[in-house]
Amino acid sequence: MTYFKKAEWVLERLGEDGIVIVDTRYALNDSEAGRRVYAESHIPGAYYLDLSHDLSGPKRPDGQGGRHPLPEPKELAAVLGRIGIGKNTTVVAYDDQGGAMASRLRWLLKWIGHDGQVFLLEGGFAGWQAAGHPVSTETPAPAEGVSFEPEVRNELLVTQAEVKERIGRKGTVLIDSREAPRYRGEVEPLDPAAGHIPGAINRFWNEGKRADGTWKSPEEQAERFAGLSRDDEIIVYCGSGVTATPNVFALEEAGFRNVKLYAGSWSDWSSRPENPVATSEE
């Protein structure tokens, strides 16, 4: 089953009952940019969810939990209900960040117990516009009569302490989803220390797409993770638990079934100076 839909598929279903479209555009260097561009133009009927306010919880002063901590489940469930997402609603998510923000929403839905289908819009909003499809400036009214009772699936997660326990353990593989220079510790624009968790291998999340921006097939994703055993426990992280999520789904598409997210990721790990840091190649 594919988790990506082309713009034409979405266009044919605009306004259809049981489908909710969510705009998740967001700029890490300007937390209000996504909301501004949504107000200027979005897919008709789409609701907006913000990475900082809707798809993350409040940051702790000591940095524990990372730059984008997971939201409190009941608060997230209330947000979902307000935009019409129930346990079995079909969701179409899009952004203009290559699918990273939309994948964060998709992962949160899985974590909180959503059982419906969740699709990412192939090509994002830019592709929608390039195809000449209609846009709107109208914000849809809050949904009525929709509630979401969370059933949290914490087996999809690992904590910082659990990552420490697993370093060097046979049968566990750590995957760092950031760009190679950050993985190697050559640059670190956001977090307290440069480098990666010892033993982690590097698989940049954006390499899950082809040169034209479309997502790779399950077979192509499997090639990215060649050499890993499908019996392994795979722990995926990035800078703050956002861009790791496309890799989580790429691994699942490739047939890996024991895939977990370290949600705090490098921003959580590097907040503790005593945590070990590596800068060598995998």
Angstrom CA distances, 36 to 29, 42, 185, stand at: 14, 10, 34
Angstrom CA distances, 131 to 7, 82, 101, 154, 224, stand at: 8, 30, 22, 40, 30
Angle, alpha carbons 132-24-155 (nearest 5°):
135
Give all strands (DSSP E) within 115-200, no chain letters.
118-121, 157-158, 172-176
Chain centre to alpha carbon of residue 17: 26
Yes or no: say if 118 and 183 are a contact pair by the CB < 8 Å rule.
no
Chain centre to alpha carbon of residue 133: 26
**Structure-token match 């979005």, residue found:** 42
Report residue 97 as tokens.
């960040």
Q: Is 238 a catalytic residue?
A: yes
Q: Residue 144, class by beta-carbon neighbours within 10 Å (0-12 exposed, 13-18 middle, 19+ buried)?
A: exposed
φ, ψ for residue 79 (rounded to 5)?
A: -65, -45
In the chain, the largest separation of any two C-alpha atoms, in whole Å, equals 54
Yes or no: say if 264 and 69 are a contact pair by the CB < 8 Å rule.
yes
Catalytic residue among 101, 112, 236, 238: 238
Angle, alpha carbons 131-132-137 (nearest 5°):
125
Catalytic residues: 238
